[in-house]
A and B are shown apart, each in its own frame.
Chain A
Amino acid sequence: MKKLNLLILKYKKEEFNLLSLLEETVKVKGFLSFETLNYISKNLKIPLAKLYGMASFYSFLPTAKTGKYVIRVCNSPSCYLNGSQEVLETLKKVGIGVGKTTKNGKFTLELTSCIGCCDSPPAMMINNKVYKNLDKTKIRNIIKGLK
């Protein structure tokens, strides 16, 4: 809460920049819960609907609790055509479903728009690390390595 208050103070003074406020809040809080967004909305006098609309627009601003590792599989055209669906299937076989968090709270799987790896598709991100040119064995190894 202290950190959040500091953030709000900072953005009250600065030229207002909603997106980076939300990004920094995610860093502090992990995700944007109802309580967090409501708190920001009350303190900065921005409608909650607007904040939620914004948060739900960007896949990098989670609005529900995420696992320790957030897997984001690119679903834009060049990855899609080069087998992003197979990536999702492989992940499902390992026990990670789209839009879900595993029961042990370790993995969350989401789809995302282009992450700038069109030269080496299909690609995904796990937290802040990018993995390119994925295939079945590669994915299994990556997930094993994280377990």
Chain B
Amino acid sequence: MQIKMNGKRVKVKKGETILDIAKRNGINIPTLCYHPDLKPEGRCRICLVEVNGKLVTSCNTKVEEKMEIFTNTKRVLEARRLNMELILSNITYTRKDFELIKLAKELGIRKIRFKKHVDNSKGRGPIEIDNHRCILCGRCVQVCQNIQGINNIDFVNRGIFTEVTTPFNIPIKDSPCTFCGQCALYCPENAVRERAFSEKLIKYVEDMNLIKNRNKVVIVQTAPAVRASLGEMFGAEPRTLVTGKMVAALRKIGFDKVFDTNFGADMTIMEEANEFVKSIEKNKNLPLITSCCPSWIRFAEETYPFLLKNISTCKSPQQMFGAIAKTYYAKKIGVKPEDLIVVSIVPCIAKKFEAEKPEMKSAGCNDVDIVLTTREIGRMIERKKINFSKLGDGEFDEPLGIPSGGGAIFGATGGVTESVLRVIYEIFTGKKLKKVNFKQVRGFEGIRDTEIEMGNKNIKIAIAHGLGNIRKLIESGEWKRYHFIEMMACPGGCIGGGGQPRPTTWEIRKKRIAALYEQDKKMKIRVASHSPAIKETYKEFLGKPLGKKSEKLLHTKYEKRKPKYF
């Protein structure tokens, strides 16, 4: 089929949209509500083009025979600009690095002629929706409904009173929301965002002197997925790892010690692998389901309480690290647990909720005091006027900063499974592991499964990421067939988490995952149980995996919970 675009003849296939064709031919059409991961809805009306004398949205109009398309006539440009002005009239405050303002500049808008109508802002829970900034593009609603399948938010009311909110305006923390934060990740305007963990505490972190005067020690842990994405906030390509620069920047902000959550991840692997071996030997509570993802845990506690006995009792790496820091490390450096402030930097919004759980207090106070997302720390570095791209490479502190490659790949979907496999291989077969890479468990499909032979055992594994896929796996009853299941609430695993830099698309997720595997490849120690830091911690402090002390510090319990209103 042939159509005309801006006067040129272009070959097209049936079913393609006008936007697809323009992209292929190097013609730029500005878009706002369109996102490559989502179904185009034509809501923002920025991508207008003229087809045979009519204005249509190019993102969801399919090509037809004899179409004559113009993408930049005067009429088109004026219409786009008018629509942009109307959208801008809805918001009160914005920052120039958000998608919306970049686009407005591109369209040449300097002044907004229209007055604001909506004025109702509500903040609540780890996630807040700010209607001062919302432009009703509908990405968050689509993610919540189609990708995650939680269906917690939708458009409410009509006309100029339309807003995105929960049914009956219930506070988000009392709703069935799992705090996966995908809505915030897809928002082009930071209208849906993480709640600052506690503004007072963040001020403490920013102004380190305040804490030093009070004889407090502030340590920070950085999650495996942050180093693969933080650079994007400072203009780096998605595949660059910024481990060294990140450590240097954190030191410049003023943290006393910079540690690696990968150490916590290694510990999680040790505990989880041993738990798995135990349940295989006793043939009890199989399949074992991973527990690293707090959003998945909240989802299970609320929706699938019958699965709770199958979920590994291990805490997540963040909480394990916090518990070890407040007990073992605080003792080692001679500081009271209350005076040791543990900050963690994570790609996740649900971790904020997890750190506040009442059962996460192994030393009498919160194991993790402050949780910041990748975006928050990025903004903090910016505010401190640190020139991130020109920083030298810093190194993690010892002893909680020397990880194995197993911990490094935790941020990718399938990563937890692979690390656990590396450890249990040696337990089951008694031989040293030669082929470290279990490529069978890598990949991007929403639900994958595989079988792996180890010694005389045949282990069936399933991996699901994205809450929608998790629901599919559980409700089909398929989950009973497996021995080990990895569940991650965000598509792509933690590297696609709700606190990651925007924009995040599947392309970018794949690049971040590739970066993590490259990092693993370069590591000397690839198996968690070979790590000297882990060996030392067990020798000096914990005893053995699943021992009395680790049972107390590193494991937790789950209970059936009901959202307050349901």
Contacts and interface: CB of A to CB of B under 8 A. Distances in A.
A38 B168 CA distance: 11
B99 interface: no
B6 interface: no
A34 B151 contact: no
Given A34-B168, A49-B151, A49-B167, A56 B157 contact: yes
Contacts of B566: 38
Contact of B166 (A49, A51, A58, A63): A49
Interface string A29-63: 00000100110000000011111110011100001
B156 A56 contact: yes
A48 B158 contact: no
B428 interface: no
A37 B156 CA distance: 15
A58 B167 CA distance: 15
B154 interface: yes
Contacts of A52: 154, 156, 167-168
B145 A47 contact: yes
A97 to B, nearest CB: 17
B565 interface: yes
A69 B152 CA distance: 33
A53 B566 CA distance: 17
Interface residues on B, range: 10 to 19
Interface in B135-161: 145, 151-158
Contact of B158 (A47, A49, A50, A57): A57
A12 B393 CA distance: 63
Contacts of B156: 52-53, 56
B157 A49 contact: no
A134 B41 CA distance: 42
B154 A49 contact: yes
Interface in B161-203: 166-168
Contacts of A48: 151, 167
B151 A50 contact: yes
A63 B167 CA distance: 10
Contacts of A63: 168
A53 B155 contact: yes
Contacts of A53: 154-156, 167
Contacts of A56: 156-158
| Best-surrounded residue of A34, A48, A49, A50 (most CB of chain B within 10 A) | A49
A37 B158 CA distance: 19
A52 B157 CA distance: 9
A49 B166 CA distance: 6
The dominant DSSP class at the A interface is helix
B475 to A, nearest CB: 11
Contacts of B158: 56-58
Contacts of A49: 151-154, 166-167
B154 A50 contact: yes
Interface in B108-156: 145, 151-156
Contacts of B145: 47
Interface in A61-118: 63
A28 to B, nearest CB: 20
Contact of A57 (B151, B153, B157, B167): B157
A65 to B, nearest CB: 13
A37 B157 contact: no
A52 B566 CA distance: 14
A79 B358 CA distance: 57
Contacts of A47: 145, 151, 154
Contacts of B166: 49
Contacts of B154: 47, 49-50, 52-53
A133 B168 CA distance: 36
B565 A34 contact: yes
A38 B564 CA distance: 13
A38 B151 CA distance: 13
B30 to A, nearest CB: 29
Nearest to B565: A34
Nearest to A37: B167
Contacts of A34: 167-168, 565
A48 B431 CA distance: 54
A97 B152 CA distance: 32
Nearest to A48: B167
A126 to B, nearest CB: 22
10 contacts: A34-B168, A34-B565, A47-B145, A50-B151, A52-B154, A52-B156, A53-B154, A53-B167, A57-B157, A63-B168
9 closest A-B pairs by CB: A47-B151, A52-B167, A49-B154, A53-B154, A56-B156, A48-B167, A56-B157, A57-B158, A49-B167
Interface of B: 145, 151-158, 166-168, 565-566
Given A49-B166, A57-B158, A63-B168, 18 more contacts: A34-B167, A34-B565, A37-B167, A47-B145, A47-B154, A48-B151, A49-B151, A49-B154, A49-B167, A50-B151, A51-B167, A52-B154, A52-B168, A53-B154, A53-B155, A53-B167, A56-B157, A57-B157
